[in-house]
Structure 1
Amino acid sequence: MLVPIDVLEGQSVPSTVVEAFGSVPVVLLGYREVPDQTAPEQARDQYGDRVRSELEALRSVFETAGCDVTTRLAFTHDRLKTFERVTVDESCDAVLLCNPAPVLESVLVAIRSDVNVDHIVRLVGTVLEGTDLEVTLLHVASEESRRDAGTELLETAATALAGEGVDASRVDRRLVVDGSPTDAILEAADDHDLLVVGESRPSIRRYVFRDRAERLAKRTVDPVLVIRGEYLEPAADEGDDGIPANDRSASVSVTDVVESVEEGDQRDGAS
């Protein structure tokens, strides 16, 4: 799981989240989005030591909770692009946006018909392992004629969760008919402490937040866990690592890869 943190803005990871995700390997990404006119290398030289110090403090919090954690550092002109590149490079299955979480007792999992339910359920089962978290499976049907299909989808997800060892008494199902899925999910999220959503479509080039997940994360007060699609093979213009060939760097360091990509974008005139 990738956890991006802008430590220079005072962002942190709620202790409730650290405790809940103690069984999940974590990649902490300390990042700073810099203006177009500032070279990422310049920002790294200016703020690198401070970011590393803050990042190591966060790392120790996760390690104390028994979490397997690694850290990465990036200075970038485009934080969303950087999130995706590190997610791909580290083979992360999900990205966590750390909104405040004073308590963490219940999880809302929004299930859509265009996502791989089994893939989402496996990851949710991993998160729930060793916790007392309650989970609500939510499906928003666009019209009444889709109600039966939505009900079947929820039953499939609940059965899969049971197969992951989650007791049925901890799982609730909720189906809503609404023409605005985003609004319906946000309304349901008010009654829960963590929102889990799936990435919209199986395309490595569609950055993980450039869809409904980004809008949800901005409008809810809950932490949001975005589960990436289960990609079976890269697109024609991508290599085995899922990164477009013209964006690759010869560097072997993840931090250097991210930084060199952004520096290359700057030379090409991109933001």
Structure 2
Amino acid sequence: MSSSRNHRVLVPVDVLEGESVPSTVVDAFASIPVVLLGYREIPDQTAPEQARDQYGDRVRAELEELRTVFEDANCDVATRLAFTHDRLKTFERVTVEESCDAILLLNPAPVLESVLVALRSDVTVAHMARLLRTVLDGTDLEVTLFHVAADEDGRNAGTELLETARTALVDEGVAANRIDSRVVVGGSPTDAILEAANDHDLLVVGESRPSVRRYVFRDRAERLAKRTVDPVLVIRGEYLESATEAAENGKTADENPGEVPVTDVVETVERGDESGGDEGS
């Protein structure tokens, strides 16, 4: 069984837009170390350094308050600040730099009682189960494992996938009576997941294609994150690596087609910090 301290979750918060972390989310994730990323997505014509000089102190003050909320819940918390032209790419960058296992995208969560876990055929089940067990530990959250099969021929494979995931969760210490499973056939997987998510309070998705490597928000995960009204936990695949690791392993930019350069400024914020740290472009 994995320890909660072996995991880490990135929680991006657009504090200048008044975004906050629901108390239900704080309670559910209190046992897991988190990295709070106070960020602001800025227009292309605005330099990140300029935005930091203008708004940095406000963001740091808001981050300080959020840090206190998590610390009051006995959560191990670190804070970073970012001004960026592409928030999702910056989230990915910080996820790799901070060795986070997942990114929690916030939405209102007045209650947090049930979790929908959308599994695809190529998912790394054991990796997801370890982190899910950590999230579920100390809560009464119920779990529905969900898979969308392309056709009737894929129903049995989907059922087997969910049974494998169920077994992995039970092996991690999750009570079997807290886990339900559901396979649906046909239609748009994204639409099916969004419809099912309407009956749950937290959506969990994962990316697992080795060819993607450095990316978290590719294909379905990005669309789900943008369209659902639930908080979304995007679990990072074990295969993700940093740009340095990719270079060491002989990967080139050509092997990551469609890569978008990120212009941002990111800094680590210590308690009481009033000045910047790292910059990236």
TM-score normalised by the chain length of structure 1: 0.87
- The aligned counterpart of 2:134 is 126
The yes-or-no answer on 1:93 pairing with 2:101 is yes
Q: Deviations over 1:174-193 (max 9, x none)?
A: 11112311111111111110
- The aligned counterpart of 1:42 is 50
Q: Deviations over 1:84-117 (max 9, x none)?
A: 1100000000000111000000001011111101
- Does the 8 Å contact 1:204/1:242 carry over to 2? no
- Does the 8 Å contact 2:118/2:193 carry over to 1? yes
For residues 54-93 of structure 1, the aligned pairs below 5 Å read: 54-93=62-101
Q: In structure 2, what is the Cα distance between the partners aligned to 1:241 and 1:131? A: 40
| Secondary structure of residue in 1 paired with 2:35 | strand
Q: Which amino acid aligns with 2:178?
A: R
- The aligned counterpart of 2:257 is none
- The aligned counterpart of 2:205 is 197
| Secondary structure of residue in 2 paired with 1:58 | helix
For residues 80-229 of structure 1, the aligned pairs below 5 Å read: 80-202=88-210, 203-206=212-215, 208-229=216-237
Q: 1:217 to 1:128 in 2, by over 3 A?
A: same
Q: In structure 2, what is the Cα distance between the partners aligned to 1:91 and 1:37? A: 31
The yes-or-no answer on 1:4 pairing with 2:12 is yes
Q: Deviations over 1:30-77 (max 9, x none)?
A: 011112221111111110000000011111111111111000011111
The yes-or-no answer on 1:19 pairing with 2:27 is yes
User: What is the CA-CA distance between 1:131 and the residue it aligns to?
Assistant: 0.7
Q: 1:62 to 1:41 in 2, by over 3 A?
A: same
Identity of aligned residues (%): 76
Aligned residues: 256
Between 1:174-183 and 1:86-95, the stretch displaced more is: 174-183
Q: 1:145 to 1:87 in 2, by over 3 A?
A: same
Q: Which amino acid aligns with 1:163?
A: D
Q: Which amino acid aligns with 1:168?
A: A
User: What is the CA-CA distance between 1:238 and the residue it aligns to?
Assistant: 2.4
TM-score normalised by the chain length of structure 2: 0.84
The yes-or-no answer on 1:260 pairing with 2:280 is yes
Q: In structure 2, what is the Cα distance between the partners aligned to 1:153 and 1:159? A: 10
Q: 1:241 to 1:45 in 2, by over 3 A?
A: farther
Q: Which amino acid aligns with 1:260?
A: G
| Secondary structure of residue in 1 paired with 2:154 | helix
- In structure 1, runs of 5+ residues without a counterpart are 262-271
Q: In structure 1, what is the Cα distance between the partners aligned to 2:102 and 2:112? A: 18
- Does the 8 Å contact 1:88/1:243 carry over to 2? no
Q: In structure 2, what is the Cα distance between the partners aligned to 1:123 and 1:38? A: 38
